[in-house]
Amino acid sequence: MAAALEAWLDLDWNIDALDLSTPFTAVGSVREGAYLLRSGLSPYASPICRHPFLLLRLLDAADRSGVLGALLLGAHVLTAWVVSCLARAAQSHERRTPRIIGVVYLLSPWNVAACATRSSAGVSHLLTAVALLTAHSGATAAAATASALAAYTAPDAGWLLPAIALLCASRQRARCGGGLDVAHAARFACWCATSLASLLLASRVGLGSWDFLRAYAAWLSAADTQPNCGAWWYLLVEAFPPQRGTLVAAMHLLPRVGLLPLALRLRRRPLLAACLTAALLHTFQPYPSAPCLCFSLALLGCCCTAALRRHTVHAPLAAVLVLGVLGCLPSLRIGWLERRALNANFFYAATLLLTAAHACLGLDVAAAALGLDARATAHVAAVRAQRAWRRHAVKTKRMQ
């Protein structure tokens, strides 16, 4: 399917209109950086190369060998399998739903088309999914290594580290008993810091300079802003230059400031908290793409158990709205930039609706989980009060 779609995309089509890749995942970034590197120059002397150095070397070697498409397709297949395993771990009493989630993610047209266009977004998705799965299984070292690799390839994954640390700590506490949360979180932090420092030092040694940090600086500053399926680009285009830095900092921090409190509030459901954090990060990142939104939908589907689905209100409508708007965006973008029949407001209104629907989906799942936890807490308190009243009644009767 990917090979047939790749041949079809070689026709006279503007692939950028499909939002399959970003400046940080496009194959052009790999080829530009590799050309400069073979010419004896720094790959990051060009504003086009945005891949981290080690990932750049890996993708360049695969591209020169002619197996880049197969490598990215294999990463996509492995991601679908890991997502299915993650859904099976979250919904242990259901058999059909985890398989459906994995198959739907595997056959998603946006993901298959991204593999055909050689977008490297599937690499960070695979690492994120592996980090969540290994953390849920209690493998602290593997989860920390996978989390460090995910943060190295996609800087926004660094915001996921507290939720994964809490997930590792909760699984280890379930195995070894209580009172070890801080110790397990500290062990995860040490493993992650060591792995990330090793990756950065290896990049420094391989490149001979710290120029690869320009890729992370470009991510933080949103320097390569262009029309996409996210909510950042239009606001940054309309902002005056003196206020651009403040706006970028606010858009980085405001959607993420509540992620750690949410993970702490959902401490009874650590896997749900980690999946929600990952999904919301993909929603509000500066360079989103259609495969990123599909991955976040898959993560939300993994943590939606039957009990959660019964208590959600807007989640089905929001999911349908996300998929519908995502399918309409290419026609709006073509009508604006190529046919000149529309203006930017149509496309931007659709991206705002997409972001709002995706955020509503995640918040509805979180609200359902918090409601279930509140009912469970109230039930436990009522049972304890009833037992205390019975003990008091028995004691009073004996005294009489």
pLDDT tens string 246-266:
888 888 888 888 888 888 888
Q: Please enumerate in sequence order all residues whose Cβ is within 8 A of that of 107, keeping only pairs 6 or more positions apart, or say none.
A: 1
Domain that holds residue 385: 2-399
Cβ contacts of 312-318, under 8 Å, gap ≥ 24: 312/364, 312/365, 312/368, 313/364, 313/367, 313/368, 314/360, 314/361, 314/364, 315/361, 315/364, 315/365, 315/368, 318/357, 318/358, 318/360, 318/361, 318/364
Helix (H) or strand (E) holding 345: helix 344-399
Q: Which two tokens stand for residue 345?
A: 């407001």
Is the model's pLDDT at 165 over the cut of 60? yes
Q: Which of 2-11, 17-26, 187-196 has the lowest mean pLDDT?
A: 2-11
pLDDT digit string (tens) for 281-319? Answer: 888 888 888 888 899 989 988 888 888 888 888 888 888
**53-65 vs 27-38: helix crossing angle, rounded to 10:** 90
CA distance 71 to 67: 6
Is the model's pLDDT at 397 over the cut of 90? no
Instruction: Give me the number of domains the chain comprises.
Output: 1
- pLDDT band at 22, cuts 50/70/90? confident
Q: Phi first, then psi: what are they for 118, rounded to 5°?
A: 60, 40
SS3 222: coil
Q: What pLDDT is attached to residue 203?
A: 94
Q: Please enumerate in sequence order all residues whose Cβ is within 8 A of that of 313, keeping only pairs 6 or more positions apart, or say none.
A: 364, 367, 368
| pTM score of the predicted model | 0.88
Is the model's pLDDT at 398 over the cut of 50? yes
Q: Please enumerate in sequence order all residues whose Cβ is within 8 A of that of 323, keeping only pairs 6 or more positions apart, or say none.
A: 297
- Contact (CB, 8 A) for 181 and 169: yes
Nearest of 167, 222, 219 to residue 192 by alpha carbon = 167
How far apart, in Å, are the Cα atoms of 238 and each of 148, 222, 314, 344? 35, 14, 32, 12
CB-side exposure of 50: number of CA atoms within 13 Å? Answer: 26
Q: Phi first, then psi: what are they for 227, rounded to 5°?
A: -55, 125
CB-side exposure of 378: number of CA atoms within 13 Å? Answer: 6
SS3 content of the chain, % helix, strand, coil (to 5): 75, 0, 25
Place of tokens 């708007």: 325
Counting every residue, how long is the chain? Answer: 400
Query: Dihedral through CA 296, CA 72, CA 118, CA 87, nearest 10?
Result: -10
- pLDDT band at 7, cuts 50/70/90? very low
